[in-house]
Chain A
Amino acid sequence: MKLALDEHAGLDSPLHRWAAPYKIVGLGLLMLAFASIRDLRLLLPMLSIAGLVYIASRLPARVLLTRLRYPGLFLVSVIVALPLLSGETVLWQWGWLTLRQEGVQAMGLIVGRFLSILTLSVVLLGTTPFVTLVRAFRSLGLPAILADMLLLTYRYLFDLADTLAQMQQAMRLRGFGRRQRPARVKFSLWRTLNRLAALAGTLLVRSYEQSERVYKAMQLRGYGARLGKGRSDRPQGTAFDWWGVVIALISALSLVIAEALLNWQR
């Protein structure tokens, strides 16, 4: 699980230079505007805005493609089910297989919104170092406990993923996962569950013990003395940062107003 979020945060682009708190607000507004689109005619403008933001970020295309590899089964089932099952206007029919216009339109909207919002998420996370992002969340009001948990979880996520991979490899080397003899097949699910529970349990115990050592080390460095009492940094924006928010706000409002007008005409 090698998916460091800020691998490309060191590049130089307008999106990289945009101060994190302003970027969160600007891109957040755009995401909400994208989520509110219900008219198919606004699909292209929405995808264009997301595409332009991505191009302006100068992130390699493979970053977005890597994130697209994982979307849940649910989205795939929406793509397959909606055109076949939803709506009454038949576009194409072959035996029992029927492609319906309303379903295709609904699927287009859902996928379009998903792609556009995901693109902005990738830009937000890809153009900001993670620590800067958490500091920005903190300056926007995220409680100190959540900010600390966010940073610590991110710090140890990859370590624990590596630990799990090593433990799974060790299990395989000891014969786990090989085919069972027919007489034992009916017990294999129970045994597999038991062994995987022991695997997950060992991972939890290891992380629990590690957390005790981590806390002692953090305490020695003064952790806990000022939690919640220290003032979070207030964002100090330049004209460039404010212009970014204004452009995002205008784009978001344009989409929302266009959506309302098109809805009113119908």
Chain B
Amino acid sequence: MHIPDGLIPVPVALGGYGLTGLFTWYSLRQINRLPNPTVDIPKASLLTAAFFVASSIHVPVPPTSVHFVLNGLLGAVLGYYAFPAIVIGLFFQAVMFAHGGLTTLGVNAAMMGIPALIAASIFRLHIHLRRLPPKRAIAITAFLAGVVGLGLATLIFVGIVITNIPSGFNAATERAAILGLGLAHGPLMVLEGLFTTMLVLFLQRVKPDMMRDSIYPQLPFGKAPASEPRR
């Protein structure tokens, strides 16, 4: 789900770069406010590479196979580094596989990155679900983060494509295409949510340090509590 080079007009592409620039600037400003902004750069970089590689894992869903976007999980794990990580991941996808493109990098980054930040906020809500057992609260918010991450990205994608593709379609064809895309992405969103839940529960069990931000909700993303040594 990437917008390729050549599909959208230049003003939209430049607008995408503007939006991505704004969100990147905001993310970097938050990172630079940390006591030691360099400490998490290797972690964010390696996890960016790992997410890039992990998103190539295909799940067989007969008669085809699907792969996951993982932008919701990326937001939950990387916090403020998520947006720069998505920009970098999409840059490599564009230059290595021609998925997306250099002129559409801004639009694609905004399309994937903004839902990732929203999904991260949704995931953090598990702290407030105090009536539920912690594991169930984490599972519910992780599922929602996965669904919303992909769902919002799909909505933005469809919106951009519908408004920018040559308008020779009749209304019935357009409605059928939107309905078809929606129906096709519904099960995918559920699968993405399930996969995100399983992955989060796995990380929570095996390496809870990676989910630190969600454990200490009073702290901004990437900041460790003063009473504990930084990771």
Contact = CB atoms under 8 A, between A and B. Distances in A.
B175 interface: no
A35 B9 CA distance: 6
Contact of A193 (B36, B98, B194): B194
Interface string A141-156: 0010110111011101
Contacts of A32: 10, 13, 103
Interface in A213-246: 214-215, 218, 223-224, 227-228
Nearest to A215: B42
Contacts of A196: 57, 59, 195
B199 A148 contact: no
B4 A114 contact: yes
B206 A145 contact: no
Interface stretch (B44-52, B113-121, B131-139, B148-156): B44-52
Contacts of B97: 3, 67, 70-71
A72 B4 contact: yes
A140 to B, nearest CB: 13
A189 interface: yes
B192 to A, nearest CB: 10
Interface stretch (B85-93, B122-130, B213-221): B85-93
Contacts of B96: 1, 3, 5, 67, 70
Interface in A117-135: 117-118, 121, 124-125
Nearest to B196: A197
B42 A227 contact: no
Given A32-B10, A153-B88, A208 B46 contact: yes
11 contacts: A5-B95, A72-B1, A106-B165, A116-B6, A189-B59, A197-B195, A204-B203, A211-B45, A212-B42, A223-B38, A224-B36
Given A146-B28, A149-B85, 18 more contacts: A35-B5, A35-B8, A70-B99, A102-B166, A110-B7, A113-B5, A114-B4, A114-B101, A146-B84, A148-B38, A149-B88, A152-B42, A153-B49, A153-B88, A157-B92, A193-B59, A201-B203, A208-B50
A228 B85 CA distance: 18
Interface residues of B, number: 76
A258 interface: no
B61 A198 contact: no
A170 to B, nearest CB: 14
Interface residues of A, number: 86
A68 interface: yes
Contacts of B42: 152, 211-212, 214-215, 218
Contacts of A218: 42
A47 to B, nearest CB: 12
Given A117-B101, A145-B28, A146-B24, A153 B4 contact: no
Nearest to A3: B96
Contacts of B198: 193-194, 197-198
B41 interface: yes
B6 A193 contact: no
Interface string B1-44: 11111111110010000000000100010011000111101111
Given A145-B28, A153-B45, A36 B99 contact: no
Given A74-B4, A164-B53, A150 B88 contact: yes
A250 interface: no
A59 interface: no
A145 B84 contact: yes
A218 B59 CA distance: 37
Contacts of A154: 92
Contacts of A115: 6
B44 A205 contact: no
B227 interface: no
Given A35-B10, A145-B41, A205 B210 contact: yes
